[in-house]
Amino acid sequence: MYRLFFPFIFLSITWAFECPSDCTCDVDVSSINCLSANLTSIPTTGSYALLDVRHNNLTSLTLGSEHSSLEIVDASDNSIDHVSISFNLAKVHRIHLHRNAITSIERSLWVNVLVLDLLDLADNLISSVADETFADLEVLESLDLSGNQLRELRPRALSGLLSLRTLNLERNQLMSVPSLAHVPQLISLNLRHNQLVTLPTFSFGRQIQVLSVAHNQIVQITPSAFQSDESLIPQLTKLDMQHNQLQSFPAAALSCLRHLQVVDLSGNLFEELPAGSFNGVMFSRLHTVFLNGMPQLEVIKEGAFNALHSVRSLQINSCPQLSSIEPGAIANCPNLMQLDLHACALTNLTADVLSDWASMSSFDMRFNPIHCDCQLFWLKDRLSALSASSPSPKCASPESLHGRPLTQVPRSSMPCNSSSQVDEYFEDRIMIAIFTSTCLLLLIVGGSLMYKYRHSMCEQSQPGVDVYSYFVYHNPNRMARHHNIPPRKLQAKPRDPNRSLRHVTWSATDIEPYRPKSKSESQAPKPPSAGKTDTPTAV
């Protein structure tokens, strides 16, 4: 019976409530929609949970006991300059007040909405926040103060926000990073479009995962800006630093960001991207890099992107001075799927700029002053093999090919400059041909020599052969010269056909030491020597 009684009471109260004129009341979703109804005051809501009074003529927001059932209030796009909550609204967990005329907020304002988890105060006229203004909102998870007139946040302005996870301070006039010591759970911080000049040491806690400081005037980042004073590795996964005044790549500051997945450095003032800017040791999880709209970037050095095994997308477009990407600039990035180089100043691109094209699905080089000669044969082939997601760049020169898509130009129409250095397209093939020919020639010569001396090699390869004696047997005059005696004809005794040449040697008595003769000795007859022989003795 109770199950039937309570729904009956709820329906009776709902039917008894009169929906405001020009509003729509939906019982199914328990909402009152008064969008653009020309209201000047907040209507009674009865038992409804959602009140939408956007785009009206409200100048104040007053909530009391007649709104005790509300859970969500959206009073955006009005002219509200005063907010009053006089009753304990224990169910309200979201209040939207963006684009109004609120100039100040006080701590007492929030004591009756203690379960609030989202507070939107964006695009108002708030110029300061006192200490502990939000101290009673211990369960608040999202706070939006963007589009106000804040020049600073006092050190304890965020005190008490123990559950805060998202803080939006975009489009203010902040000149320094606010203290985050009292928001230990903060994971997302937006500081875009402020007046920051530097990021000092320990500016952000290690728990921050998403950080945007884009569109500021930052010229310096200290090496420990993203580190915490606990010396722990920051958890930052997404970093947006586009459109600042950085003159060089902040390698030291970024080196500690081992969890970084997405980084945007577009619109800064780098003149070059040096070797080792992005390497797989420091950025093992990095998958997306934005370097668009760099007005002074001229060259990307060899090894600028190295061993980034997780990177999938490189966006380097709209850089009007970028005319050189060195060979090996993008090395060992096997999973790279998207490379965007459109609207730069590139006239040529060598195939070895990128070491691995296997995973490439989208390559954009449009709106570059491409010189379509035979050095771009490789690019023509690549683009022809890729899908329609890789549109063809158009030739800027030579004049005969101006305006024609590269993929539609026949190879025979792409000239080669014979007076210039050897065409890079054929250079590798020439070197390979020379190396192969040299190896083949060495094999032929070596084989011929082995065939010519095969019998001698066989004799010398027999075990136990006296190679020295064998050499002397075949060349006794050389042996005579070696012992400093006058060359003379030496003959070996006829050898036994059953004995191998390995057994034929020269006896030590067969060779006399050389002694120059006097003139008288050379004319006198020489007596025979006893026990001497001029012939070799077989042993």
Q: Determine the longest span between alpha carbons in the chain, in angstroms.
A: 160
- Residue burial 137-153, b: 16+ Cβ < 10 Å; e: rest: beebbbbbbbbbebeeb
- CA–CA separation, 199 vs 241, rounded Å? 11
pLDDT tops 50 at residue 302: yes
pLDDT at 322: 98
pLDDT tops 50 at residue 392: yes
pLDDT at 445: 86
pLDDT at 449: 80
pLDDT tops 50 at residue 407: yes
**Least confident piece of the model among 137-141, 218-222, 505-509:** 505-509
pLDDT tops 80 at residue 479: no
- CA–CA separation, 101 vs 124, rounded Å? 5
pLDDT tops 50 at residue 250: yes
- CA–CA separation, 347 vs 371, rounded Å? 5
Phi then psi for residue 396, to 5 deg, are: -100, -25
pLDDT at 465: 47
pLDDT tops 70 at residue 420: no
User: Given the structure tokens 């608040």, which residue do they identify?
Assistant: 140
pLDDT tops 70 at residue 476: no
pLDDT at 425: 46
pLDDT at 154: 92
User: Given the structure tokens 């169910």, which residue do they identify?
Assistant: 91
Mean pLDDT confidence for 481-488: 54
Instruction: Please give the span between the terminal C-alpha atoms of the chain, in angstroms, as a whole number.
Output: 132
Convert the pLDDT of each residue in 311-359 to its tens digit.
Answer: 999 999 999 999 999 999 999 999 999 999 999 999 999 999 988 888 8
pTM: 0.74
Residue 502: both structure tokens together = 């390995």
pLDDT tops 90 at residue 197: yes
Contacts of 304 (CB under 8 A, 6+ apart): 273, 274, 275, 276, 277, 278, 329, 330
* Bridge partner residues of 167 (DSSP): 143, 189
- CA–CA separation, 264 vs 266, rounded Å? 6
Of residues 457 and 444, more confidence is placed in 444
Label each residue of 401-465 as H, E or C: HCCCEHHHCCHHHCCCCCCCCCCHHHHHHHHHHHHHHHHHHHHHHHHHHHHHCHHHHHHHHCCCC
Contacts of 305 (CB under 8 A, 6+ apart): 277, 278, 279, 289, 311, 314, 329, 330, 331, 333
**Least confident piece of the model among 22-36, 231-245, 399-413, 431-445:** 431-445
- CA–CA separation, 314 vs 273, rounded Å? 13
pLDDT tops 90 at residue 40: yes
Mean pLDDT confidence for 358-362: 90
Work out the burial of residue 337: count CB atoms within 10 Å of its CB; fewer than 13 is exposed, 13-18 middle, 19 or more buried. middle
Contacts of 20 (CB under 8 A, 6+ apart): 32, 34, 37, 39, 43, 44
pLDDT tops 50 at residue 532: no
Question: For residue 398, is the peptide bond before it cis, meaning its omega torsion is within 30 degrees of 0?
Answer: yes
- CA–CA separation, 342 vs 186, rounded Å? 37
- The candidate with the shortest Cα–Cα distance to 49, out of 93, 110, 112, 5, is 93
pLDDT tops 60 at residue 41: yes
Mean pLDDT confidence for 396-400: 94
Q: Is 353 helix (H, G, I), strand (E, B) or coil?
A: helix
Contacts of 361 (CB under 8 A, 6+ apart): 337, 338, 386, 387, 389, 390
